[in-house]
Amino acid sequence: MKVLVIMGSPHKGNTYAAAKKIEESMRRRSAVEFDYLMLSEANLSPCRGCFVCFMKGEGFCPIEDDASLILQRLEDADGVIFASPVFGMNVTGLMKTFIDRFSYVFHRPRFFEKKALLLSTTGALGQKDVIKYLDMVARIWGFEVVTGAGLITPRVGGTRWFTPEQEDELDLAGKKFLEALRRKTRRSPSFMDVIVFHAQRCSFNILAEEAPLDHEYWKEHGWFDPGRRYYVDVRVNPLYNFIGLLAERVFRRRIERDRIKGWYKSTYSPKNT
Protein backbone atom coordinates (compact mmCIF):
# COMPACT_ATOMS: atom_id res chain seq x y z
CA MET A 1 0.00 0.00 0.00
CA LYS A 2 1.48 3.33 -1.08
CA VAL A 3 0.72 6.78 0.29
CA LEU A 4 1.93 9.97 -1.37
CA VAL A 5 2.10 13.12 0.76
CA ILE A 6 1.87 16.33 -1.26
CA MET A 7 3.60 18.70 1.13
CA GLY A 8 2.57 22.30 0.54
CA SER A 9 4.69 23.75 3.36
CA PRO A 10 8.06 25.08 2.22
CA HIS A 11 9.85 23.38 5.12
CA LYS A 12 9.64 20.47 7.54
CA GLY A 13 7.52 22.32 10.09
CA ASN A 14 4.16 21.74 11.77
CA THR A 15 2.41 20.29 8.73
CA TYR A 16 5.25 17.89 8.04
CA ALA A 17 5.30 16.83 11.71
CA ALA A 18 1.51 16.23 11.53
CA ALA A 19 1.91 14.15 8.36
CA LYS A 20 4.62 12.11 10.16
CA LYS A 21 2.16 11.45 13.00
CA ILE A 22 -0.36 10.12 10.49
CA GLU A 23 2.40 7.99 8.96
CA GLU A 24 3.25 6.58 12.42
CA SER A 25 -0.41 5.84 13.08
CA MET A 26 -0.73 3.90 9.82
CA ARG A 27 2.61 2.11 10.10
CA ARG A 28 1.80 0.97 13.62
CA ARG A 29 -1.19 -0.83 12.15
CA SER A 30 0.13 -2.03 8.81
CA ALA A 31 3.00 -2.01 6.35
CA VAL A 32 2.50 1.20 4.41
CA GLU A 33 4.99 2.81 2.07
CA PHE A 34 5.22 6.59 2.36
CA ASP A 35 6.48 8.94 -0.33
CA TYR A 36 6.85 12.66 0.46
CA LEU A 37 6.61 15.11 -2.40
CA MET A 38 8.15 18.27 -0.93
CA LEU A 39 6.77 20.84 -3.34
CA SER A 40 9.48 23.30 -2.28
CA GLU A 41 12.09 20.93 -3.68
CA ALA A 42 10.12 19.88 -6.74
CA ASN A 43 10.86 21.20 -10.18
CA LEU A 44 7.37 22.54 -10.83
CA SER A 45 6.90 26.01 -12.30
CA PRO A 46 3.75 28.14 -12.14
CA CYS A 47 1.12 27.71 -14.83
CA ARG A 48 1.44 30.19 -17.70
CA GLY A 49 -2.28 30.22 -18.45
CA CYS A 50 -1.90 29.20 -22.09
CA PHE A 51 -4.79 26.67 -22.06
CA VAL A 52 -2.73 24.13 -24.02
CA CYS A 53 -3.42 21.36 -21.45
CA PHE A 54 -7.16 21.96 -21.74
CA MET A 55 -7.33 22.35 -25.49
CA LYS A 56 -4.55 20.16 -26.88
CA GLY A 57 -3.62 17.89 -24.01
CA GLU A 58 -1.40 17.90 -20.96
CA GLY A 59 1.41 16.28 -22.93
CA PHE A 60 1.75 19.53 -24.91
CA CYS A 61 2.36 21.80 -21.91
CA PRO A 62 5.15 24.18 -22.98
CA ILE A 63 6.77 24.16 -19.52
CA GLU A 64 9.67 21.77 -19.29
CA ASP A 65 9.78 20.58 -15.72
CA ASP A 66 8.81 17.55 -13.62
CA ALA A 67 4.98 17.78 -13.92
CA SER A 68 4.74 14.45 -15.74
CA LEU A 69 6.95 12.73 -13.12
CA ILE A 70 4.72 14.14 -10.39
CA LEU A 71 1.65 12.87 -12.23
CA GLN A 72 3.29 9.45 -12.30
CA ARG A 73 3.82 9.58 -8.52
CA LEU A 74 0.14 10.42 -8.09
CA GLU A 75 -0.82 7.53 -10.34
CA ASP A 76 1.43 5.12 -8.44
CA ALA A 77 -0.15 5.93 -5.06
CA ASP A 78 -3.14 4.19 -3.51
CA GLY A 79 -3.74 7.13 -1.22
CA VAL A 80 -2.76 10.79 -1.29
CA ILE A 81 -2.42 13.19 1.65
CA PHE A 82 -2.95 16.78 0.53
CA ALA A 83 -1.12 18.80 3.20
CA SER A 84 -0.92 22.56 3.42
CA PRO A 85 -0.49 25.06 6.22
CA VAL A 86 -2.57 28.23 6.13
CA PHE A 87 -0.61 31.03 4.49
CA GLY A 88 -2.47 34.30 3.98
CA MET A 89 -5.77 32.61 4.92
CA ASN A 90 -5.52 29.93 2.25
CA VAL A 91 -3.32 27.16 0.88
CA THR A 92 0.33 28.02 0.31
CA GLY A 93 1.51 29.29 -3.04
CA LEU A 94 3.34 25.98 -3.52
CA MET A 95 0.12 24.01 -3.12
CA LYS A 96 -1.76 26.41 -5.39
CA THR A 97 0.90 26.09 -8.09
CA PHE A 98 0.61 22.31 -7.84
CA ILE A 99 -3.18 22.48 -8.20
CA ASP A 100 -3.01 24.99 -11.07
CA ARG A 101 -0.60 22.80 -12.99
CA PHE A 102 -2.98 19.85 -12.82
CA SER A 103 -6.10 21.91 -13.52
CA TYR A 104 -6.93 19.89 -16.62
CA VAL A 105 -7.83 17.08 -14.19
CA PHE A 106 -10.85 19.17 -13.11
CA HIS A 107 -12.16 18.68 -16.67
CA ARG A 108 -10.85 15.17 -17.18
CA PRO A 109 -11.05 13.53 -13.72
CA ARG A 110 -9.17 10.27 -13.21
CA PHE A 111 -8.24 9.33 -9.65
CA PHE A 112 -11.33 7.24 -8.93
CA GLU A 113 -9.38 4.27 -7.58
CA LYS A 114 -7.63 6.43 -4.98
CA LYS A 115 -8.45 7.79 -1.54
CA ALA A 116 -7.45 11.15 -0.13
CA LEU A 117 -6.79 12.58 3.31
CA LEU A 118 -6.65 16.34 3.85
CA LEU A 119 -4.34 18.00 6.35
CA SER A 120 -3.82 21.60 7.39
CA THR A 121 -2.12 23.45 10.24
CA THR A 122 -2.51 27.08 11.16
CA GLY A 123 -1.41 29.74 13.61
CA ALA A 124 -4.99 30.69 14.44
CA LEU A 125 -7.48 30.74 11.56
CA GLY A 126 -8.25 29.44 8.10
CA GLN A 127 -7.66 25.71 8.51
CA LYS A 128 -11.32 24.92 7.80
CA ASP A 129 -11.23 26.96 4.60
CA VAL A 130 -8.09 25.14 3.48
CA ILE A 131 -9.64 21.75 4.20
CA LYS A 132 -12.82 22.78 2.38
CA TYR A 133 -10.86 23.94 -0.65
CA LEU A 134 -8.67 20.81 -0.77
CA ASP A 135 -11.82 18.71 -0.36
CA MET A 136 -13.37 20.28 -3.46
CA VAL A 137 -10.18 19.84 -5.49
CA ALA A 138 -9.65 16.19 -4.50
CA ARG A 139 -13.29 15.25 -5.08
CA ILE A 140 -13.49 16.80 -8.53
CA TRP A 141 -10.20 15.12 -9.45
CA GLY A 142 -11.95 11.83 -8.62
CA PHE A 143 -10.60 10.91 -5.18
CA GLU A 144 -12.76 9.49 -2.44
CA VAL A 145 -12.03 11.91 0.40
CA VAL A 146 -11.79 9.89 3.61
CA THR A 147 -11.28 12.57 6.23
CA GLY A 148 -9.60 15.86 7.05
CA ALA A 149 -7.59 17.15 9.99
CA GLY A 150 -7.18 20.88 10.59
CA LEU A 151 -4.96 21.76 13.56
CA ILE A 152 -4.22 25.02 15.34
CA THR A 153 -0.46 24.93 15.94
CA PRO A 154 0.86 28.35 16.97
CA ARG A 155 4.31 26.84 17.62
CA VAL A 156 7.11 28.28 15.51
CA GLY A 157 10.56 26.71 15.19
CA GLY A 158 12.21 24.10 17.44
CA THR A 159 10.61 20.74 18.11
CA ARG A 160 7.08 20.48 16.80
CA TRP A 161 4.62 19.00 19.25
CA PHE A 162 0.88 18.41 19.47
CA THR A 163 -1.61 18.48 22.32
CA PRO A 164 -2.93 15.07 23.44
CA GLU A 165 -6.21 15.88 21.64
CA GLN A 166 -4.35 16.68 18.44
CA GLU A 167 -2.27 13.49 18.78
CA ASP A 168 -5.56 11.57 19.04
CA GLU A 169 -7.02 13.39 16.05
CA LEU A 170 -4.00 12.53 13.90
CA ASP A 171 -3.97 8.94 15.11
CA LEU A 172 -7.65 8.57 14.28
CA ALA A 173 -7.16 10.19 10.86
CA GLY A 174 -4.43 7.64 10.10
CA LYS A 175 -6.61 4.77 11.31
CA LYS A 176 -9.55 5.88 9.17
CA PHE A 177 -7.31 6.38 6.14
CA LEU A 178 -5.84 2.91 6.51
CA GLU A 179 -9.29 1.34 6.84
CA ALA A 180 -10.45 3.15 3.71
CA LEU A 181 -7.36 2.05 1.78
CA ARG A 182 -7.93 -1.55 2.78
CA ARG A 183 -11.54 -1.36 1.63
CA LYS A 184 -11.36 -1.82 -2.11
CA THR A 185 -14.89 -0.58 -2.72
CA ARG A 186 -15.85 3.06 -3.08
CA ARG A 187 -18.22 4.96 -0.86
CA SER A 188 -21.44 6.20 -2.41
CA PRO A 189 -20.97 9.78 -3.73
CA SER A 190 -22.30 12.77 -1.80
CA PHE A 191 -25.04 15.04 -3.11
CA MET A 192 -22.46 17.60 -4.28
CA ASP A 193 -20.38 14.91 -6.03
CA VAL A 194 -23.46 13.88 -8.00
CA ILE A 195 -24.37 17.46 -8.91
CA VAL A 196 -20.80 18.16 -10.09
CA PHE A 197 -20.97 15.02 -12.27
CA HIS A 198 -24.21 16.19 -13.90
CA ALA A 199 -23.03 19.79 -14.32
CA GLN A 200 -19.83 18.68 -16.06
CA ARG A 201 -21.58 16.02 -18.12
CA CYS A 202 -24.04 18.56 -19.43
CA SER A 203 -21.36 21.19 -20.16
CA PHE A 204 -18.88 18.90 -21.92
CA ASN A 205 -21.64 17.23 -23.90
CA ILE A 206 -22.92 20.50 -25.33
CA LEU A 207 -19.53 22.19 -25.73
CA ALA A 208 -18.13 19.63 -28.15
CA GLU A 209 -16.75 22.33 -30.43
CA GLU A 210 -15.47 24.64 -27.72
CA ALA A 211 -13.88 21.93 -25.56
CA PRO A 212 -13.22 19.05 -27.98
CA LEU A 213 -10.66 17.24 -25.87
CA ASP A 214 -12.85 17.24 -22.78
CA HIS A 215 -15.84 16.14 -24.88
CA GLU A 216 -13.88 13.20 -26.33
CA TYR A 217 -12.58 12.17 -22.90
CA TRP A 218 -16.08 12.12 -21.46
CA LYS A 219 -17.41 10.25 -24.49
CA GLU A 220 -14.64 7.63 -24.33
CA HIS A 221 -15.43 7.00 -20.67
CA GLY A 222 -19.12 6.49 -21.49
CA TRP A 223 -20.09 9.34 -19.17
CA PHE A 224 -22.61 10.76 -21.66
CA ASP A 225 -24.43 7.43 -21.91
CA PRO A 226 -28.07 7.75 -20.92
CA GLY A 227 -28.64 6.21 -17.53
CA ARG A 228 -25.10 6.91 -16.41
CA ARG A 229 -25.33 8.03 -12.80
CA TYR A 230 -21.71 8.70 -11.91
CA TYR A 231 -18.17 8.42 -13.23
CA VAL A 232 -17.77 4.94 -11.76
CA ASP A 233 -20.15 2.10 -11.03
CA VAL A 234 -21.13 2.80 -7.50
CA ARG A 235 -24.45 3.05 -5.72
CA VAL A 236 -25.93 6.53 -6.21
CA ASN A 237 -28.73 7.78 -4.00
CA PRO A 238 -31.79 7.80 -6.37
CA LEU A 239 -32.91 11.18 -5.04
CA TYR A 240 -29.49 12.73 -5.77
CA ASN A 241 -29.64 11.25 -9.25
CA PHE A 242 -33.14 12.63 -9.84
CA ILE A 243 -32.09 16.11 -8.69
CA GLY A 244 -28.93 15.82 -10.81
CA LEU A 245 -31.01 15.08 -13.91
CA LEU A 246 -33.28 18.05 -13.18
CA ALA A 247 -30.21 20.22 -12.67
CA GLU A 248 -28.87 19.06 -16.05
CA ARG A 249 -32.02 20.39 -17.71
CA VAL A 250 -31.54 23.78 -16.07
CA PHE A 251 -27.80 23.86 -16.89
CA ARG A 252 -28.49 22.80 -20.48
CA ARG A 253 -30.92 25.67 -21.05
CA ARG A 254 -28.43 28.17 -19.61
CA ILE A 255 -25.44 26.84 -21.51
CA GLU A 256 -27.34 26.75 -24.80
CA ARG A 257 -28.62 30.29 -24.26
CA ASP A 258 -25.12 31.59 -23.43
CA ARG A 259 -23.59 29.62 -26.26
CA ILE A 260 -25.76 31.50 -28.78
CA LYS A 261 -24.36 34.73 -27.36
CA GLY A 262 -20.88 33.39 -28.17
CA TRP A 263 -19.80 33.23 -24.53
CA TYR A 264 -17.90 30.00 -24.89
CA LYS A 265 -16.39 30.78 -28.26
CA SER A 266 -12.71 30.23 -27.80
CA THR A 267 -10.05 32.44 -29.30
CA TYR A 268 -7.55 29.78 -28.35
CA SER A 269 -4.94 29.03 -30.94
CA PRO A 270 -1.71 27.16 -30.27
CA LYS A 271 0.01 30.04 -32.12
CA ASN A 272 -0.99 32.49 -29.38
CA THR A 273 0.62 30.49 -26.60
Ligand X SMILES: Cc1cc2nc3c(=O)[nH]c(=O)nc-3n(C[C@H](O)[C@H](O)[C@H](O)COP(=O)(O)O)c2cc1C
Residues that bind ligand X (CB under 6 A): 9, 11, 13-16, 85-89, 121-126, 153, 156
CB of 157 to ligand X, least distance (A): 9
Rounded-to-integer distance, Cα 227 and Cα 221, Å: 14
Residues 6+ positions from 178 with CB-CB distance below 8 Å? 25, 26, 29, 30, 32
Cα-based distances in Å from 68 to 10, 43, 60, 113, 213: 21, 11, 11, 19, 19
Name the residue nearer to ligand X (CB basis): 55 or 170.
170
* H helices present in the chain, as ranges: 14-29, 52-55, 67-76, 93-101, 104-107, 127-141, 164-182, 191-206, 212-220, 238-260
Name the residue nearer to ligand X (CB basis): 85 or 244.
85
Rounded-to-integer distance, Cα 166 and Cα 20, Å: 13
Name the residue nearer to ligand X (CB basis): 162 or 230.
162
CB of 1 to ligand X, least distance (A): 25
CB of 121 to ligand X, least distance (A): 4
Name the residue nearer to ligand X (CB basis): 19 or 61.
19
CB of 156 to ligand X, least distance (A): 6
CB of 86 to ligand X, least distance (A): 4
Closest to 213 in 3D by CA, of 204, 225, 221, 203: 204
Name the residue nearer to ligand X (CB basis): 156 or 260.
156
Name the residue nearer to ligand X (CB basis): 173 or 180.
173
- 195 CB neighbour count, 10 Å cutoff: 17
CB of 39 to ligand X, least distance (A): 12
Give the chain's length: 273
